[in-house]
Amino acid sequence: MKIIVIGSANMDLVIQTARIPEAGETIHGNGFFLSAGGKGANQAVASARMGAETWLMGKVGDDIFGRSIRDKLVQFGVRGEYLTVESGVMTGVAAITVCGGNNRIILDSGANNRVTPAYVEGFRDAIQSASAVMLQLEIPLETVYRTIELAKGKVPIFLNPAPALPLDAAALAGVDYFTPNEIECRLYTNVQVSDVDDARAAVNVLKQKGIRYPLVTLGEKGVVYHNGTDVVHKAGRKVQAVDTTAAGDTFSGTLAAMITAGKTMDEAVDMAQYASSISVTRRGAQDSIPYLSELPELN
């Protein structure tokens, strides 16, 4: 199986604080570190660590961050033949503040903005021969739309709509697996998700939009999804969260790897939840993502 992730690669600059500063205020933080990130790269790492042969298609700058990201991806088992170095532009950077286990992120897209429709057109054959294609919204929206056009009806499409942006109805109808969290799904459903019943209503709205398998992730409350027959709620695992930075990416990458490996929707969601719950107990983005061997109860 061959999963192609078309998306972002960033360097995360992470600092932990006891509280979030007010406007104009300077406070002390602690535990600063650099971590390879970006939703595309994170999901590619999660997929690869779950045993799927995974390629990342995207761009980094010709700088120290870009070189570090490429080296890390190879180390983590992600294939880099489709990852292009763009001269004259910086690699994407995310400034992340972690407070109380939750994060706030400011993103400069850098080279990710150069992942254009023409760029993915150059990989048409690879995309259309893949076992699955994964997308997020940290690359230009027109590129997401063009990829959906290329893959629709030929390759299962996994779309994690983060950061949330309005999406064309025709594009949504071409998506097989759609994984917003409870905040993001409001943009696509007009449903304010406060509890499981709200999430069920949101899933039904997404299903009516033509999405085959909509899922709404609810953090510690679990996930609500359509498994092809029913709308199901699975409760979350209780863990002590340290850093939630890559939780959604771990869920998305694991889900795609398990579906592509032939697991049922219910089995794939179980494994994705389990992997995500492990990731939040560790610092960083890609470094926090577990391997398949760390999910012994579900193997």
Asked if residue 54 is part of any domain, the answer here is: yes
Asked if residue 296 is part of any domain, the answer here is: no
Give CA angle at 258 (47, 140), nearest 5°. 45
Amino acid at 187: L
Asked if residue 90 is part of any domain, the answer here is: yes
Asked if residue 258 is part of any domain, the answer here is: yes
Asked if residue 292 is part of any domain, the answer here is: no
Residue 56: φ, ψ to 5° = -105, 125
Asked if residue 278 is part of any domain, the answer here is: yes
What confidence score (pLDDT) does residue 296 get? 64
Q: Left, alpha or beta for 284 (phi > 0: left; psi -120 to 50: alpha)?
A: left
Asked if residue 298 is part of any domain, the answer here is: no
- CATH number of domain containing 195: 3.40.1190.20
- Per DSSP, 56 falls in state E
For the chain, the domain total comes to: 1
Handedness of CA 194, 134, 101, 236 (dihedral sign): positive
What confidence score (pLDDT) does residue 207 get? 97
Residues carrying an active site annotation: 249
What confidence score (pLDDT) does residue 134 get? 98
Q: Left, alpha or beta for 258 (phi > 0: left; psi -120 to 50: alpha)?
A: alpha
Sheet strands side by side (includes 213-217): 83-86, 53-61, 2-6, 132-135, 157-159, 177-178, 213-217, 223-226, 231-234
> Which residue range(s) make up the domain with 253?
2-21+28-286
What confidence score (pLDDT) does residue 298 get? 57
Handedness of CA 290, 158, 94, 182 (dihedral sign): negative
Q: H-helix or E-strand containing 225?
A: strand 223-226
What confidence score (pLDDT) does residue 287 get? 81
Helices 39-49, 64-75: inter-axial angle, 10-degree rounding: 20
Those residues with Cβ within 8 angstroms of residue 102's Cβ, 6 or more apart along the chain or in another chain:
241, 244
Residues comprising the binding site for ATP? 181, 217-222, 248-249
> Digits of tens for pLDDT over the chain (299 positions)?
899 999 999 998 989 899 988 889 998 998 898 888 899 999 999 999 999 999 999 999 999 999 999 999 999 999 999 999 999 999 999 898 888 878 788 889 999 999 999 999 999 999 999 999 999 999 999 999 999 999 999 999 999 999 999 999 999 999 999 999 999 999 999 999 999 999 999 999 999 999 999 999 998 899 999 999 999 999 988 888 777 778 899 999 999 999 999 999 999 999 999 999 999 888 877 888 999 999 866 55
